[in-house]
Each structure stands twice: as C-alpha cells, then as structure tokens.
Structure 1
C-alpha cells in the first residue's frame, strides 16, 4: 500500500537582507496544525456593555424577577461580555419580563435585541449583543442549571 502523500501549502518566504528575491517554500500542513496556537487576549468589557448590563438588571429587579444572577464571560466565551440569568414565577411573567427588557434596551438606544422562546414562556433568551439574558420558570432553570455550567472555572491550575 503506497504511503499517503503529505499535504503541502506554498508560502512566500520574505526576501532576506542581502537583497535576494522572495521564494516559495513548501510547508507541511500536518506539522503546522500541531503547533500550539497563541490564545488571544480578550479585551475588557466596554463601558457600553456595563451600562447595558446595569439597565437590564435594574429592569428585571424593578419588574419583580427572582434570583437574578450576573456572570462575567471574560475569558470563558467570546459570544458576549456578560450573561444574566433570572426567574419569573410563571410563563406569563417570564414573557412579560422579556418584553420589559427589550423595551428598556430599545428606549435607551443601546442596540438591537433578538428574542427566542417567548411563545412557550418556559425559557426566553434575549440576545442584546454584549449581554445574553436567560429568563426561566423556576423548574426549568433547576432542570438546565446554566449557572453551574458557566460559573465553572475550566482554566488549568498553576503551581
């Protein structure tokens, strides 16, 4: 059985200081994939993200949301800067809380909001770009336990 040919990619080698022209070199793609990649540092959350977070938490608190939890996603995910998880006592209250949050963000002109799950009222997701909001009925929140997953520290310990 013949050996599997190596996949290569041609890359332009820069001209050296002696003035010779640039040349094409073959790079083994399998070897390139094995090189560890440098982790990109995630910038600190912007003031706009913190303003949006404060507005959402205040809106939820003013409208009697229960067990409001804020999770800083820095270093855990690039999807948003913050996540908010809260309960409503019923499906109707969960839907109403989602409406209040979307209305408050729109009135403050802090960006567009997209919602999912309002029809059922068990779990409503609001994507406000920099802040992700999860609104649950209590038993649904207990079943999924999102806060346990997102608060876990998966970074390796250094000794």
Structure 2
C-alpha cells in the first residue's frame, strides 16, 4: 500500500466515523463511546458503542445509521440483531457500531474489553 492509499483510507475511515457520530447524536443515542482500533485489530479502524432507551429506539438508530451511510458514502452496512432490538451490530467496514439497550450493555460491558474506563471517550 502506498502512503497516498493509506492516507485516503484513513480519511474515509474518519469521515465515516464522523457521519456515525452525527447520526447517533441526531437520533438521541446515549452514552456514546468511541474506541480506536487502529493498530489493535485488523477488523476495523473504529468501534462505537452506544445505548438507546428501548428496543424500538435501538432498532431505529441502527436503521437510520445504515441509511445515512448508504446515502453519503455508498456504504452498505451489515446489520445483525435488529429484530430483537437488545443489541444491534452495524458493520460499516471501517467503523463497527454496537447499539444496546442499557440493561444489555451493562451485562456485556463490551467497552471494558477494549479500553479501561478512564480512556474511553
């Protein structure tokens, strides 16, 4: 990979992350945590974890996010768990988003696997 390719990949990754964060804010996602996976995982550059107040809101947050990424970047996201609405995974390639109901998020404590609480942003 050339330096220009790496720079373009990072730029796109950061743009997708910004779109994700804006979408989550617009849809009233709560307790949004962003974790950089660069150099720590080959699956993605960023992971975002957030909560919705109900199963219905969790599903709606994921659906709207997928629609926005498709419109803005032509990214077709893979979505898992939307029907149950407890924990929805949105795979946007460079950014992986987990949307939880608060009780389910507390049970799994996914962010603690990647970063100590004091480092989460």
* TM class, shorter-length: 0.7 to 0.9
Q: Deviation per CA, 1:48-89, whole angstroms, max 9, x where unpaired?
A: 000000000100001100001100001211100000000000
**Of 90, 98, 104, which residue of structure 1 is paired with 2:68?**
104
Match of 1:88 in 2: 52
Aligned partners of 1:87 and 1:138 also within 8 Å: yes
Question: Structure 2: how far apart are the matches of 1:110 and 1:53?
Answer: 14
Question: Structure 2: how far apart are the matches of 1:65 and 1:140?
Answer: 15
Distance 1:49 1:76, change over 3 A: same
**Of 98, 102, 119, which residue of structure 2 is paired with 1:134?**
98
Question: Structure 2: how far apart are the matches of 1:111 and 1:100?
Answer: 13
Question: Structure 1: how far apart are the matches of 2:52 and 2:29?
Answer: 5
**Of 31, 36, 41, which residue of structure 2 is paired with 1:67?**
31
Under a length normalisation based on structure 2, what TM-score does the superposition of the two structures give?
0.87
Structure 2 alignment gaps of length 5 or more = 1-5, 117-121
Structure with higher helix content: 2
Aligned partners of 1:73 and 1:83 also within 8 Å: yes
Q: Considering only aligned residues, what root-mean-square deviation do their CA atoms show, in Å?
A: 1.3
Structure 1 alignment gaps of length 5 or more = 1-42, 153-159
Tell which structure's C-alpha radius of gyration is larger: 1
Q: Secondary structure at the match of 1:126?
A: strand
Question: Structure 1: how far apart are the matches of 2:106 and 2:15?
Answer: 29
Match of 1:6 in 2: none
Q: Which has the higher contact order (CA 8 A, sep 6+)?
A: 2
Question: Structure 1: how far apart are the matches of 2:14 and 2:69?
Answer: 13
**Of 3, 18, 21, which residue of structure 2 is paired with 1:57?**
21
Question: Structure 1: how far apart are the matches of 2:100 and 2:61?
Answer: 10
